[in-house]
Chains A and B, each alone.
Chain A
């Protein structure tokens, strides 16, 4: 309760400071924000939160401000808090905060805290009102691993290149440091899925290098993208007696999106690979797992259609598989999602969604203590944007 009160005070003070900025800089500061509240209920199992008995632990809120200096420099930041079961718990954090110097159309520079330009939706995944579905395809936008690509500190070079009749090319190159706390979603998921790990004492992630290319092709509405990052990660486990070492951890995503008037089709395929070594911290020459190659391929196909100004429907098929070379229902999750979106007003959106699930990857036992590999998930969410 005290922590929640502290966060409320931070948010109220932030509003006060932001309104002061607004006055001081004579209207050049843009302030925007969003609030979303959702509900999850599953027929069996628990997924993302205590969904089997129904849960409102599913919300996001954010406020951002941007200041245009009037030259080629802008500065901005976004505060963000979310709750999704054990993740977030409404802790206020800085989603991004950076300075941006647009030197030329074909080259600009950003420095500060930012998100990786990964896939079509990583940079916007916090904001429910920017997409058709409530839950993004977990094959590519896994909720547990999101810490790795959010709130990284570093620098970007980016730009838009005109290719004449061949279209336009957007590029982003990024180098940054990533800190993954041991109470993060990544850490919790790591603990849940590794039965031999009793404690997770530290996560060390090396400098991360990322890149993204989007080609707006000459065919109107068709874009092709490729993005990815590379890093090394180490997990110190079991009361600091052993190390799980994942050097050459690489993730790459191929993306395609086609928009034809009111119809949007998209598909992405993510390939993740790493080497896996496990050794004793006290004596690294004692190797428990030696240079194992681990990899997986996840993908989804999606479509959305805006029938009227206020109603949009969408569907996707998503297939996830576990990273550690497993097979069977425990190591995969297939998801057919049907989604509806109602734009009540320009500032308010309501969504209803059904997921037909097969598989148990990332799934916890339900209230009866068992897991069923064929199950459904129902979601509802309302979002406000200003």
Chain B
């Protein structure tokens, strides 16, 4: 009886697991000019923001930037990382509180993020496609 109850619960949970929402923004990935363009693929972006990659293939340190709490951030996570915001935050807090990695650099607006990526070797970030992105590599 108890097992049947748990199985039914899991089936319901699996159904809801597929439901998710997209805000509809178009996101561009940006990197510092020091990052070779061929290194940036969808799988690589996902692994970087999931905390699985810490270095580019040329051994440069990967420096992450984010805009937590914004719709751009949510759309980026939906499009490229396939994680809800809370899960992303948890993943990076785990790394931070165990001393493995620093928390990604957080910015309140896109221009500050772009400036940071432009001026930081190995940096990667994301912005709405409409933003000005001079001096960085852009991937759409």
A residues in contact (CB < 8 Å) with B: 30, 32, 34, 62, 64, 66, 68, 72, 74, 76-78, 96, 98, 100, 102, 104-105, 114-115, 123-124, 126-127, 129-130, 160, 168, 170, 216, 220-221, 259-265, 303, 305-307, 309, 312, 315, 343, 346, 385
Question: In the complex, what's the smallest C-beta–C-beta distance from A194 to chain B, in angstroms?
Answer: 33
A32 to B84, Cβ gap below 8 A? Answer: no
Question: Using an 8 Å CB-CB cutoff, how does the interface string of B119-134 with A read, 1 for contact, 0 for none?
Answer: 0000000000000000
C-alpha gap A238/B82 in the complex (Å): 57
Complex alpha-carbon distance, A98 and B100, angstroms:
10
Any A CB within 8 A of the CB of B69: yes
Residues of B close to A96: CB separation below 8 A: 98-99
Contact A303:B98 (CB < 8 A) given known A104-B59, A160-B52? no
- Which residues of chain A are within 8 angstroms of B85 by Cβ–Cβ distance? 309
| B8 CB-CB contact with A under 8 Å | no
Q: Flag if A305 contacts B17 (CB, 8 Å).
A: yes
Q: B61: CB under 8 A from chain A?
A: yes
Q: Which of B84, B98, B99 contacts A262 (CB 8 A)?
A: B84
Residues A168 and B61 in contact, CB atoms below 8 Å apart: no
**A66 and B89 within 8 A (CB):** no
Closest 4 CB pairs of A and B: A263-B17, A105-B55, A76-B99, A123-B98
Q: Is the CB of B96 within 8 A of A306?
A: no
Complex Cα gap A221–B83 (Å): 10
CB distance from A153 to the nearest CB of B (A): 14
| Docked pose: A343 CA to B69 CA in angstroms | 14
Using CB atoms, name the residue of chain B closest to A313: B13
Which chain A residue shows the least CB distance to B91? A130
Q: A313 CB to closest chain B CB, in angstroms?
A: 9
Closest B residue to A127 by beta carbon equals B97
| Known A-B contacts A66-B96, A124-B98, A216-B52; A30 and B103 likewise in contact (beta carbons under 8 Å) | yes
B103 to A64, Cβ gap below 8 A? no
Residues on A with C-beta less than 8 A from B10 are: 265, 303
Q: Please, which residues of chain B bring their CB within 8 A of the CB of A312? A: 86
With both beta carbons as reference points, the residue of chain A lying nearest to B18 in the complex is identified as: A261
CA distance A262 to B90 in the complex (A): 13
Complex formed: what's the CA distance from A114 to B99 in Å? 9
A126 contact set on B, CB distance < 8 A: 97
Residues of B within 8 A of A102 (CB): 54-55, 61
CB contacts (< 8 Å) of B41 on chain A: these are none
Q: Which residues of the other chain, A, contact B9 by a CB distance below 8 angstroms?
A: 315
Q: Could you tell me which B residues sit within 8 Å of A by CB distance?
A: 6, 9-10, 13-14, 16-20, 47, 52-55, 59, 61, 68-69, 82-87, 89-90, 93-94, 96-100, 102-103
Q: Are B55 and A346 in contact (CB under 8 A)?
A: no
* Distance of A130 Cα from B52 Cα, bound (Å): 18
Contacts A66-B96, A315-B6 supplied; 20 other A-B pairs, CB < 8 Å: A64-B96, A64-B99, A72-B61, A102-B61, A115-B98, A126-B97, A127-B97, A130-B93, A130-B94, A130-B97, A168-B47, A221-B82, A262-B84, A263-B14, A263-B16, A263-B17, A265-B10, A303-B13, A306-B84, A309-B84
Q: Are A385 and B93 in contact (CB under 8 A)?
A: yes
CB neighbours of B98 from chain A (8 A) = 96, 115, 123-124
Contacts of B99 in A (CB 8 A): 64, 66, 74, 76-78, 96, 98, 100, 114
Separation in Å of the A342 CB from the closest CB of chain B? Answer: 12
Would B84 and A124 count as touching, CB distance under 8 A? no
A72 to B85, CA, bound (A): 29
B54 touches A105 (CB 8 A): yes
Contacts of A115 in B (CB 8 A): 98
Nearest to A64 among chain B residues (CB) is: B97
Whole-angstrom CA separation of A66 from B54 in the bound complex: 16
Cβ A305 vs Cβ B97 within 8 A: no
